[in-house]
Structure 1
Amino acid sequence: MIYADLHVHTNHSDGVCEITDVLENAASNGIKTIAITDHDTINHYDEIFREGKRLGLNIIKGVEMSCYDFDVFKKVHIVALGLGHNTPNIDKLCSHTLSCRDQYHHELIQELHQQGYDINYADAKKFSKYNIVFKMNIFQALKEKYPQEMTKERYKQLFASKTSKETDLKMGYIPITEGIASIIADGGVPILAHPCVYNNYDEIEKYVGFGLQGLEISHSRMKPIDFGLTQMYADKFNLLKSGGSDFHDPALLKFGDFGLTERQFNEFINKSKIAV
């Protein structure tokens, strides 16, 4: 039974649910400890802690940082866990990333408009919690105006095809060395998220040299081979074993299938020294 889910998103980045809804959903599915790891933002944690306390959930403060390995031109997502109240180094890097991402999404909305979609920045902005928009907000605006067309497959056609070295750089991805260093400087634990998604396995040893401390061994996009590979790499480099669902949308994924059992979580906490 899954006890802890340490990789979760809300509508403060590219998830679709409010903080309260996410936490209530997790609690109702037996989750006891959770880390909200929205992309490149942590300024909503007062609400997360408040709602977590109301629901009796243990909260671990976290964020998923959008990093990049310029040696091999790969995305690398690093989850920071166990953060304290002040995170000046992470805040500085994430602020830059969000600013770049917003500028890129302005351009993306213009492209969609030129393709014939009646959409503008304001349409997407109303779905965002911040003064920027995320890709999911653009899709929500499209879905509001074109509900029949905007399926999961259409989302992939419109947005997944945009991934490239050029667009990654426009999105303000953080050099992996700086991302890991900022997490350590702010007292957090850097965890390599879903290495199967961006094929980061070959670079794990290098990232350990940069200060990487953990690896996700359970994730919703892992195939059977990945469960074995992540365990092998974690053991080989004496890495913390973390895990989470990467929850974004209850229509696509439910809590309780991915994460850490109570035994695994206790091992993670004892080794990482993260306060719960």
Structure 2
Amino acid sequence: MVMTRFADLHLHTTRSDGYFSPSELVSKGARLGFSTLAITDHDTVGGIEEASREATRHEIELIPGIEISTNYGGKSVHILGYMINIQNAVLLKTLSGIIDKRIERLENMVHRLADLGYPLDISDVFSFIGNRVPGRALLARYLVKAGYYKSVGEVFENILGDSGEVYEPVSVLNPENAIEIINGAGGISSIAHPGNTRVDEIFPRLVEAGLDGVEAYNPIHTKPVVSHYLKIAQKYDLLVTGGSDYHGPQCPARNIGQIKLDYTHVERIKERAACFEVFGW
């Protein structure tokens, strides 16, 4: 009997805005029967080594990944990277610059919240975030903790979504920059949850810039949306990726186990990464 192998290629840990530590998350994935996981924290590779050690303990495959924040016309567009060299100097320097910009953005958003009647203590906000990558999700959790809202989703619907009064993009990179950096680190790039960002017009220029894949499978994608992005993948000869975009129990609509990507897609990612290494494609 041949056992089916499947993967989740979009997971977040406490190194960015996830609920579980890298070890806890890998252990959780192993218990659910995943053969392959990818840690794709926002703008950091800080959890990869811990996750890799835990994956070895459970005898499952850990793909080093990342989700890089970019800005396209004022919209937040995320580019996933897989099979990256986490020691790549250009990648690490770029991520350091993004973190600096994220800190500045958080300060701006906290000041904007004060103007709107949310008098937050910025030092308390940073204390709450700790050594995690500062972002909107953590700020939303702080607002829930402070009693201003009942859920993270409610915060985004009212003030922190891309069209919200407090929103400010992380304006360091455009999507093409992120693709170049991922490819330069030996990795494979894929546009994250395109059904959410809804910027299909950008595909031709991203493909020209070297985009490798599209995340067709994501919990927020309905069946027609999945079908749409599978057709786009076929049109542009893109790899198909997928994952739960799991952040933890605070986001029940995106739960680990909802997306079980067939392992053939992982094999294709690895094949293309090998071509980069051998032929410099």
Q: Normalising to structure 1: TM-score of the pair?
A: 0.86
Could you say which residue in structure 1 is the equivalent of 2:151? 151
SS in 2 for 1:167: coil
Could you say which residue in structure 2 is the equivalent of 1:130? 131
**CA shift in 2, pair 1:112/1:239, >3 Å:** same
SS in 1 for 2:46: coil
Q: What is the one-letter code of the residue matched to 1:225?
A: P
Q: 1: CA distance between counterparts of 2:5 and 2:165? A: 35
Could you say which residue in structure 2 is the equivalent of 1:217? 216
**CA shift in 2, pair 1:50/1:152, >3 Å:** same
Q: What is the one-letter code of the residue matched to 1:36?
A: I
Task: Work out the number of aligned pairs and report it.
Answer: 270
What are the superposed Cα offsets for residues 33-63 of structure 1, whole Å, 9 maximum, x if unpaired? 1111111111232212122222323111011
Identity, in percent, stands at: 24
Could you say which residue in structure 1 is the equivalent of 2:60? 57
In 1, are the aligned partners of 2:9 and 2:242 still within 8 Å (CA)?
A: yes
In 1, are the aligned partners of 2:84 and 2:185 still within 8 Å (CA)?
A: yes
What are the superposed Cα offsets for residues 158-216 of structure 1, whole Å, 9 maximum, x if unpaired? 31165589822xx2241222211111111111111111111122221221100111111
Could you say which residue in structure 2 is the equivalent of 1:95? 96
Higher mean alpha-carbon deviation, 197-206 vs 31-40, is at: 197-206
Could you say which residue in structure 2 is the equivalent of 1:35? 38
Q: 2: CA distance between counterparts of 1:84 and 1:161? A: 31
Higher mean alpha-carbon deviation, 227-236 vs 253-262, is at: 253-262
Q: CA deviation at 1:12?
A: 1.5
Query: What's the RMSD between the two structures over aligned residues?
Result: 2.7
SS in 2 for 1:59: strand
**CA shift in 2, pair 1:212/1:174, >3 Å:** same
Could you tell me which of 15, 18, 21 is aligned with 2:18? Answer: 15
Q: Which has the higher contact order (CA 8 A, sep 6+)?
A: 1
Could you say which residue in structure 1 is the equivalent of 2:190? 191
**CA shift in 2, pair 1:211/1:264, >3 Å:** closer
Could you say which residue in structure 1 is the equivalent of 2:200? 201
Higher mean alpha-carbon deviation, 108-117 vs 74-83, is at: 108-117
**CA shift in 2, pair 1:248/1:126, >3 Å:** same
SS in 1 for 2:232: helix
SS in 2 for 1:112: helix
Gaps of 5+ in 2: none
Gaps of 5+ in 1: none
SS in 1 for 2:105: helix
Could you say which residue in structure 1 is the equivalent of 2:270? 269
Q: CA deviation at 1:122?
A: 2.7
In 1, are the aligned partners of 2:159 and 2:165 still within 8 Å (CA)?
A: no
Q: 1: CA distance between counterparts of 2:208 and 2:95? A: 23
Q: 2: CA distance between counterparts of 1:111 and 1:62? A: 33
Query: Is 1:45 aligned to residue 48 of structure 2?
Result: yes
